[in-house]
Structure 1
């Protein structure tokens, strides 16, 4: 059987056709012109109510001054599972972008094939059985779309912006992780201080109870005083047990955030030393610095992606032109496959024009436009939330110094009151109830001061986090 030959066409002509189609693609972009939305918040951030401003462009290693805390954060960045998932999401988004971008270029493949067939004599024109062979080798381009209206390019742009969004989400996850680890570490330190205070108070109460018990045995103290003293012992014992439980829970929470059990040398000591620097924005700082926040940047990338989706949806209303072509050699014998005169080619353009689709294209466009409006509202809400978080943190900062000073003064006053009540009780000038009241007030003032010191330290973390985790974090977030 004689094999039909294709017309001759040189390989370089196929290459030229592919290059020309690539140049022609993307001539028109139907996506709306993108403009960064106007910021829906005041133009400047609150100053924080402090005269001295500090530099805000620092990495987390510069912000956290406690070496133990730095070590715990480094462990968390290496082991936290949420951060691993965020990093793997980036790999997935990068691959999706690669798939979408591949549509901008022709798909060229090489192929070779051969076949042999036997035709029986009853079907042959000559009445004799015949064996025929055919062999081919070619280089081909399959269904390459000429992107005249930007459909493929906008799909690629949407995938790219989604990839950028995922990267910013990972950065946001990392900043939140750093702040959460530091908060858990500080909470553990505060609860260990509270536990130490409760145990110290319990020991003191037991000594007082022993003295009252001996005095009662001698008849110099009433049964009421003994009962009151015992009640303070039991209350202190209950507090010590409660804080002991909280400390264990704090360690469990820290272990979960870190992703592994932190070594003992990295756990906090029961001190009130500053663990992080204080960041205070200068007066009149533009609220545009909120654009440094990764959640705001992620929201804007999502908005850009939805903008590109509109362009792809609009392009669906226009004709789609696809090219399929191949060039190579064909022969009835394997030995003649690359001989002169065996060249073959094919060129098969196709045009698809939407005529009636039941309104699918129009509905797809409406969906894309609605999604773009949703992403715009989401972006504006993200900016507003960022502004409020910074404003709230700075509003709390304005009063913290005064609250701490007042609490320290209160602690001094309750300490003096407790000492005087003990002296008066020993001289018989007052009842033991006055001593208990003074002691409770002193204990409460100590616990409140520990809580305020924790609030002051976590406020520093909140300011750092709400300002984007430091301007010099960079794309990798590692400072």
Structure 2
């Protein structure tokens, strides 16, 4: 249960970081829209621009501002979700540290077979299923033993002592007229026996049948738990691989979109490009940055899901 809580808090944190990064991207998008609007005003001032271009640039700036407002709202919502996952009152307004930007690996270092094997050895639900099956197997052996003859051995020891005093006898010489008689005896015994169960009204057979049914149920549960664990691990591993590949593609897209925007804005300022090309490039750059942010957070969330599926989440490794 605690591993699921750790996973939920971790994913909520990654989502908040993604929302915060999207807000920063939207803020940069508004700055880019302001640059296009400034270029449009400058062109109109110098008599080389048109009112239509200025209107398009103004509209683009308004759309960028709307995107920023929506991104800030999404950031607030994700902050509330994270604080709720932590079990903290939203009124306390705790400060959330930023996630250090770290490069992601190109792919997982372990094969899926190795990951599955490690998961089977680590997952608490599988360990519980193994223990339950083992306990039910032991019950079968105990029930079967009730049908077998039983040999017992017992031993005993004894010690006895006694004394007698007889008086009123005539004295003999210097002897007293009293005679004392004392005696003791040790004894011991060893018993070897065999008990053979004959008839108990079917009680032992019923116990054995119940033990076998419980063992079969435990084995079926263990099989289902293994299959579910394998399914979860494979699905999480695929999600991680897909997220890593998506992040690599998104990074390349950001580089290309940034180059396209810079070229479109420069061309528009110099009168060899259109405001439409500049605004389209600016919108595509914002979309590319958001895609990179989402793919980065998605890769981290997928890694958390894989850690939960393998039972390693919350461990020191």
Q: Into which bin does the TM-score normalised by the smaller protein fall?
A: 0.5 to 0.7
Q: Is 1:255 equivalent to 2:44 in the alignment?
A: no
Partner of 1:181: 9
Indicate the SS of the match to 2:283: helix
Contact map agreement 2:39 2:269 (CA 8 A) in 1? no
- Can you give the 5+ residue segments of structure 1 that lack an aligned partner in the other structure? 1-172, 315-352
Instruction: Pick from 404, 421, 426 the counterpart of residue 247 of structure 2.
Output: 404
- Please list, as runs of the form range in 1=range in 2, the aligned pairs for 1:328-477 lying within 5 A after superposition: 373-398=216-241, 400-469=243-312, 473=315
Instruction: Pick from 273, 280, 286 the counterpart of residue 102 of structure 2.
Output: 273
Partner of 1:200: 28
Partner of 2:123: 293
Contact map agreement 2:112 2:237 (CA 8 A) in 1? no
CA distance in 2, matches of 1:226, 1:313: 90
1:200 CA displacement? 2.2
Query: Higher Cα Rg: structure 1 or 2?
Result: 2
1:191 CA displacement? 0.9
Which structure dedicates a bigger proportion of its chain to helix? 2
Partner of 2:69: 241
Contact map agreement 2:21 2:293 (CA 8 A) in 1? yes
Deviations 1:394-424 (A, max 9, x none): 3344455554333222221211111111121
Contact map agreement 1:191 1:246 (CA 8 A) in 2? yes
Contact map agreement 1:295 1:382 (CA 8 A) in 2? yes
1:227 CA displacement? 3.3
Q: What RMSD in Å do the two structures reach over aligned CA positions?
A: 4.2
CA distance in 2, matches of 1:283, 1:265: 39
> Against the structure 1 CA distance between its residues 469 and 284, is the aligned structure 2 distance closer, same or farther, given a 3 Å change threshold?
closer
- Please list, as runs of the form range in 1=range in 2, the aligned pairs for 1:27-42 lying within 5 A after superposition: none
CA distance in 2, matches of 1:399, 1:255: 29
CA distance in 2, matches of 1:403, 1:194: 17
CA distance in 2, matches of 1:286, 1:432: 52
1:195 CA displacement? 0.5
Give the structure-1-normalised TM-score: 0.45
Indicate the SS of the match to 1:245: helix
